[in-house]
Chains A and B, each alone.
Chain A
Amino acid sequence: MRFNAFAAAAALCFAMAAWGQAGDNATLPLPPQAPAPGSGIPDLNGVWQAPYTPDLSRTFSSALPFTSFGAEQFKNHLGGDDPHGYCQPTGPTRAIHSPFPFEIIQTAGMTTVLFEIDHTFRRIFTDGRSHPKGQDITWYGDSIGRYEGNTLYVDTTGVSERSWLDTAGHQHSDKLHIAETFAKTGPDTIQWTVTYDDPVYFTKPWSVSLNMKRQKYDIMEMICTDNNQDIPHYITSKPKEAK
Chain B
Amino acid sequence: MRTLLTLCGVAVSLGVLPVQAHHSFAAEYDQKQPVTFTGVVTKLDWMNPHVYFYVDASDKDGVMAHWACEAGNPNALARRGWKKDSLKKGDQVTVQGYRAKDGTFTMNARSIVLADGTKVFAASSEDGGPLN
Interface positions of A from 164 to 213, Cβ below 8 Å from B: 167-169
Q: Report which A residues bind B (CB closer than 8 A).
A: 52, 54-55, 78-80, 82, 84-85, 87, 98-100, 116-117, 167-169, 217, 220-224, 226-230, 232-236
Query: How far, in whole Å, are A232 and B21 apart by their CA atoms in the complex?
Result: 18
CB within 8 A of B49: which of A224, A232, A235?
A224
The residue on A at minimum CB distance from B24 is A79
For this complex, 9 residue pairs linking A to B, each with C-beta atoms less than 8 Å apart, are: A55-B128, A80-B23, A85-B22, A224-B49, A226-B48, A229-B70, A233-B100, A233-B101, A234-B27
Q: At the interface, yes or no: B106 with Cβ under 8 Å from chain A?
A: yes
Q: At the interface, yes or no: B126 with Cβ under 8 Å from chain A?
A: yes
Least CB distance from B125 to A in Å reads 11
A54 contacts which chain B residues (CB < 8 A)? 18, 21, 24, 126-128
Q: Residues 94-116 of chain B: 1 if any A CB is under 8 Å from the residue's CB, otherwise 0? A: 00000011101010000000000
Least CB distance from B34 to A in Å reads 17
The residue on B at minimum CB distance from A215 is B79
Contact yes or no, B45 A82, CB < 8 A: no
B76 contacts which chain A residues (CB < 8 A)? 99-100
Q: At the interface, yes or no: B31 with Cβ under 8 Å from chain A?
A: no
Contact yes or no, B101 A235, CB < 8 A: yes
A78 contacts which chain B residues (CB < 8 A)? 26-27
A223 contacts which chain B residues (CB < 8 A)? 48
Least CB distance from B79 to A in Å reads 6
Q: At the interface, yes or no: B68 with Cβ under 8 Å from chain A?
A: yes
B27 contacts which chain A residues (CB < 8 A)? 78-80, 82, 85, 230, 234-236
Least CB distance from A101 to B in Å reads 9
What are the 4 closest A-B residue pairs judged by CB atoms, nearest first? A79-B27, A227-B47, A85-B23, A79-B24
Contact yes or no, A229 B19, CB < 8 A: no
CB within 8 A of A52: which of B18, B26, B52, B75?
B18
Query: How far, in whole Å, are A233 and B18 apart by their CA atoms in the complex?
Result: 22
Q: At the interface, yes or no: B78 with Cβ under 8 Å from chain A?
A: yes
Q: Residues 7-46 of chain B: 1 if any A CB is under 8 Å from the residue's CB, otherwise 0? A: 0000000000111111111111000000000000000010
Query: How far, in whole Å, are A85 and B24 apart by their CA atoms in the complex?
Result: 8
Least CB distance from B29 to A in Å reads 8
Least CB distance from B47 to A in Å reads 4
A167 contacts which chain B residues (CB < 8 A)? 21, 23-24, 127-128
Contact yes or no, B28 A80, CB < 8 A: yes
The residue on B at minimum CB distance from A116 is B75
Q: Residues 69-84 of chain B: 1 if any A CB is under 8 Å from the residue's CB, otherwise 0? A: 0100101101100000
Q: Tell me whether A234 and B52 are in contact in the complex, defined as CB-CB below 8 angstroms, given that A80-B28, A116-B75 are known contacts.
A: no
A79 contacts which chain B residues (CB < 8 A)? 23-28, 128
Least CB distance from A100 to B in Å reads 7
Least CB distance from B106 to A in Å reads 5
Query: How far, in whole Å, are A234 and B27 apart by their CA atoms in the complex?
Result: 6
Query: How far, in whole Å, are A233 and B33 apart by their CA atoms in the complex?
Result: 15
